[in-house]
Amino acid sequence: MTEAKLEAWLDERRAFAPSAEFAAQANAQSSIYEEADRDFEAWWRSEANRLHWDTPPTKTLEWDLPFAKWFSDGTLNASVTCVDRHVNEGRGDKVAYYWVADAEGEMRTITYAQLRAMVCQAANALTELGVKEGDRVAIYMPMIPEAVVAMLAVARLGAAHSVVFAGFSADALSSRILDSDCQYVITADGAFRRGAASPLKSAVDEALQSCPNVKAVLVVQRTGGDVHWVEGRDYWWHDVVDRQSDQHEAKSFPAEQTLVIMYTSGTTAKPKGIFHTTGGYLTQAASTHHYVFDVKRDTDICWTAADIGWITGHSYIVYGPLVNGVTQVMYEGLPDSGGRDRWWKIIEELKVTILYTAPTTIRTLMKWGPELPDSHDLSSLRLLGTVGEPINPEAWMWYRQHVGGNRCPIVDTWWQTETGAILVSPLPGITATKPGAAMHALPGIYVDVVDNDGKSVGNGEGGYLVVTKPWPAMTRGIYGDPERFKETYWKRFPGVYFAGDGAKRDEDGDLWLLGRIDDVMNISGHRLSTTEVEHALVGHPAVAEAAVVGASDETTGQAIVAFVTLKLSAEDANKDQAPLIEELRQHVAKVISPIAKPRQIILTPDLPKTRSGKIMRRLLRDVAENRSLGDVTTLTDPTVVNMIAGLMTTSSSEE
Ligand code: PRX
């Protein structure tokens, strides 16, 4: 890449207009914003017609700030809307999922009719185990079709699922089970990653030692490894699900029935149980899937390369695409399971048309070289998306050129676990996109960028992103903690939703999302709180104090850097500390998840604190990123940071 070319790419006003051909056939036409603005509630009411309602709603929005209800007098069944209705309308033979295993050559094709049968059997099995309307069921599973079936079966019974990412530890799982009092767990014996089996059920067993209310555990056999078994509590999926009838009469539930609980990190050590209800969440998941990805039900093959353990998987592997009745690819493995060109092989083989993934993955694929995508036929692709973190212009351009053949529009979609669905994104066919900008709020969504006092900033200025009107998929709150919900999102700027993200409007008025402005880190698109990692570290007997920051990282966006003071005896102080540093990293992996393992741990005799005793994280971030240190006069002991900066350069704990 020549320097001049790079400069042109990095020019933030450079925009890529959609082709006339794409624009002519796009699902969204430019009048859509005006239509929605005329009466945003009426617009969302008409979008709700994407669902199959048993009782169509007459009410649209009831807004008692910050608590919203949407379509509250409507009734429906989420799994019927996602599955049965397609079969009933004659599309039972259409493929719902091409499931691609971690191992090359292993694949399953599941039609909508088969999916319905699987969901009905699972719903019957869960009923036999005692699951009822209003219960909470934890799901801790790898990316296998049964994970989707489990979610839909729980939803079919009017219960709520709390899917916990299978990379989380036993401790993280048990705290989530306890917080929303899940009485049932659905899991697998293990998972495959790059051909190797790793256990999952053992983490459930460990977690359940502190969860006495769990009545039953349903276990899919995926790897065939040895498992510990508790008679009367544990049930094999193949024993109880496979013998059930594939018919199940679904009841209808109110639109505001809780469907999803999803834990996400906030600024405290305790993750928040964000919950979503049925009618509004499904409406917006389906609507955004339709417009943002421009999906054509009969021809597209959509691949959201994410895990169902995160909200992206919920909204764009399960609910949005299924409501819209499309064919999808669901992939079990890692980007390099079976070789570094695995993704490109999958796209070529299955003729994927729409690909949606995170910038971190794009940067990883980019590192592996353009010759890998270039040597595969990716001409089936017609649209690309990104989510989860800001995308740097170089990665955006690489994605456009080497994956999208300079032909596919790229949608940079901004949203959060709390928003349930995409709020800010270009619309393909309408928006001229800029590398790294999420551009505009979607039709029917109203956002602003405000300064410290809550006043809108002008073009060319930055501030905080807020959402100024309610939206259908907005979280209905934090499970069991309405006060924390108000405090976290609605207090900073009264009357509007505070997302916790920095944003700027460029000279053209287009939006750029800049990442978190609070103590939440974004590691490879995964949200983690600094406090949560600090808590894990101080839980280790050798640690006295810990301060954690997210430092920029070329591949993962941010990486965790921890500054730790030890409780050391004089004798221990003279030892080589490298094994202890490794032990601390493993300790964090065990308490939270391997994704929370610090990239670097710096042992220091002291931490920089203000006179009131607060750790100066801003300074530590500067140290971690080798920036020059600004004003240190408020510190009790300014020499501490210089000492830490010195330690930083000599530390060698990086992987
Ligand atoms: O900081 C923003 C970042 O991811 C956060 C939400 O994380 P989570 O709830 O885990 O959901 C991720 C998947 C929706 C946001 O507060 N984020 C998400 N999308 C973008 C983004 N940052 C910049 N650009 C995006 N497109």
The 3-state secondary structure of 103-144 reads: CCCCEEEEEHHHHHHHHHHHHHHHHHHCCCCCCEEEEECCCC
Mean pLDDT, contiguous 10-residue spans, the chain (655 residues): 56 82 95 98 98 98 98 98 98 98 97 98 98 98 98 98 96 96 98 96 98 98 96 98 98 98 87 97 98 98 97 98 98 97 98 97 95 98 96 94 97 98 97 95 98 96 96 98 96 96 94 90 90 92 92 91 86 82 95 94 87 80 78 68 72 42
**Please, are residues 138 and 154 in contact by the beta-carbon 8 Å criterion?**
no
Compute the distance from residue 414 Cα to the ligand 1 centre, in Å.
6
User: Domain of 415?
Assistant: 3-503
Choose among 86, 504, 152, 473: nearest CA to 298: 86
Atom 25 in ligand 1: residue holding the nearest Cα:
414
Q: How many CB atoms lie within 10 A of CB 621?
A: 18
User: Is it true that the peptide bond before 598 is cis, omega within 30 degrees of 0?
Assistant: no
- Give the CATH number for residue 528: 3.30.300.30
Domain annotation covers residue 655: no
Atom 5 in ligand 1: residue holding the nearest Cα:
416
Q: What pLDDT shows up at residue 628?
A: 66
Q: CA–CA separation, 205 vs 469, rounded Å?
A: 44
What is the greatest pairwise CA distance in the chain? 76
Q: What pLDDT shows up at residue 653?
A: 41
Place of tokens 């920089």: 608
Amino acid at 513: L
> Are 544 and 467 in a shared domain?
no
> Are 377 and 426 in a shared domain?
yes
Compute the distance from residue 366 Cα to the ligand 1 centre, in Å.
21
Compute the distance from residue 574 Cα to the ligand 1 centre, in Å.
44
Compute the distance from residue 56 Cα to the ligand 1 centre, in Å.
33
Q: Helix, strand, or coil here: 143?
A: coil
Compute the distance from residue 387 Cα to the ligand 1 centre, in Å.
6
Q: CA–CA separation, 470 vs 280, rounded Å?
A: 11
Q: CA–CA separation, 363 vs 501, rounded Å?
A: 22
Domain annotation covers residue 42: yes
Atom 13 in ligand 1: residue holding the nearest Cα:
388
Q: What pLDDT shows up at residue 255?
A: 98
Q: Does pTM top 0.85 for this prediction?
A: yes
Domain annotation covers residue 517: no
Q: What pLDDT shows up at residue 650?
A: 58
Return the bridge partners of 16, or none: 433
Domain annotation covers residue 224: yes
Choose among 142, 487, 473, 157: nearest CA to 334: 142
Residues whose CB is less than 8 angstroms from the CB of residue 336 and which lie 6 or more positions away in sequence, other chains included: 194, 342, 368
> Are 392 and 346 in a shared domain?
yes
Q: Helix, strand, or coil here: 507?
A: coil
DSSP tag of 406: T
**Please, are residues 608 and 623 in contact by the beta-carbon 8 Å criterion?**
no
> Are 309 and 455 in a shared domain?
yes
- Lookup: tokens for 487: 């405090």
Atom 18 in ligand 1: residue holding the nearest Cα:
388
Q: CA–CA separation, 641 vs 624, rounded Å?
A: 11
Amino acid at 365: L
Q: What pLDDT shows up at residue 622?
A: 86
Q: How many CB atoms lie within 10 A of CB 470?
A: 22
- Lookup: tokens for 328: 């999808």
Atom 26 in ligand 1: residue holding the nearest Cα:
414
Q: Helix, strand, or coil here: 74?
A: coil
Atom 10 in ligand 1: residue holding the nearest Cα:
527
Q: How many CB atoms lie within 10 A of CB 15?
A: 16
> Are 561 and 478 in a shared domain?
no
- Lookup: tokens for 495: 């009357």
DSSP tag of 496: S
Most informative mutation of 414, 511, 520 for ligand 1 (most atoms within 8 A of CB): 414
Domain annotation covers residue 512: no
3-state helix, strand, coil in the chain (%, to 5): 35, 25, 45
> Are 468 and 549 in a shared domain?
no
> Are 118 and 66 in a shared domain?
yes
**Please, are residues 53 and 74 in contact by the beta-carbon 8 Å criterion?**
yes
- Give the CATH number for residue 425: 3.40.50.12780
- Report residue 411: phi and psi, to 5°: -105, 115
> Are 325 and 373 in a shared domain?
yes
Q: CA–CA separation, 354 vs 349, rounded Å?
A: 14
- Lookup: tokens for 247: 């018919």
Compute the distance from residue 283 Cα to the ligand 1 centre, in Å.
20
Q: Spell 117-138 as b/e; 16+ CB within 10 A means b.
A: bbbbbbbbbbeebebeeebbbb
Atom 22 in ligand 1: residue holding the nearest Cα:
389
Ramachandran assignment for 388, one of left (phi > 0), alpha (psi -120 to 50 degrees), beta (any other): left
Choose among 247, 228, 139, 137: nearest CA to 189: 228
Choose among 80, 389, 97, 87: nearest CA to 259: 80
Most informative mutation of 267, 315, 415 for ligand 1 (most atoms within 8 A of CB): 415
Domain annotation covers residue 514: no
- Strands 190-193, 526-529: pairing is unpaired
Rg (alpha carbons) of the chain, rounded to whole number = 25
Compute the distance from residue 522 Cα to the ligand 1 centre, in Å.
8
Compute the distance from residue 462 Cα to the ligand 1 centre, in Å.
18
Place of tokens 């899991």: 187
Q: CA–CA separation, 522 vs 527, rounded Å?
A: 5
- Report residue 628: phi and psi, to 5°: -70, 145
Amino acid at 436: G
Q: What pLDDT shows up at residue 265?
A: 86
Q: CA–CA separation, 276 vs 155, rounded Å?
A: 12
Q: CA–CA separation, 328 vs 342, rounded Å?
A: 17
Domain annotation covers residue 463: yes
Residues whose CB is less than 8 angstroms from the CB of residue 249 and which lie 6 or more positions away in sequence, other chains included: none
Choose among 331, 365, 355: nearest CA to 408: 355
> Are 402 and 460 in a shared domain?
yes
Atom 8 in ligand 1: residue holding the nearest Cα:
416
- Lookup: tokens for 496: 């509007």
Most informative mutation of 410, 416, 498, 526 for ligand 1 (most atoms within 8 A of CB): 416
Choose among 395, 324, 398: nearest CA to 360: 395
DSSP tag of 518: S
Compute the distance from residue 321 Cα to the ligand 1 centre, in Å.
20
- Lookup: tokens for 433: 């996109």
Atom 14 in ligand 1: residue holding the nearest Cα:
416
Burial of 481 (0-12, 13-18, 19+ CB in 10 A): middle
Task: Give the position, in ligand 1's atom list, of the atom nearest the Cα of 514.
Answer: 23
Compute the distance from residue 526 Cα to the ligand 1 centre, in Å.
9
Residues whose CB is less than 8 angstroms from the CB of residue 512 and which lie 6 or more positions away in sequence, other chains included: 12, 390, 436, 437, 438, 503, 504, 505, 506
Total domains in the fold of the chain: 2
Domain annotation covers residue 226: yes
Last residue of a domain, one of 503, 537, 571: 503
Q: CA–CA separation, 353 vs 300, rounded Å?
A: 6
Compute the distance from residue 195 Cα to the ligand 1 centre, in Å.
30
Last residue of a domain, one of 471, 503, 535: 503
Compute the distance from residue 417 Cα to the ligand 1 centre, in Å.
8
Last residue of a domain, one of 470, 503, 536: 503
> Are 66 and 152 in a shared domain?
yes
> Are 254 and 306 in a shared domain?
yes
Atom 12 in ligand 1: residue holding the nearest Cα:
388
Residue ranges around ligand 1 (CB below 6 Å): 264, 311-312, 387-390, 412-417, 438, 499-501, 513, 515-516, 522, 527
Q: CA–CA separation, 435 vs 19, rounded Å?
A: 17
Return the bridge partners of 187, or none: 140, 219
> Are 484 and 626 in a shared domain?
no
**Please, are residues 365 and 391 in contact by the beta-carbon 8 Å criterion?**
no
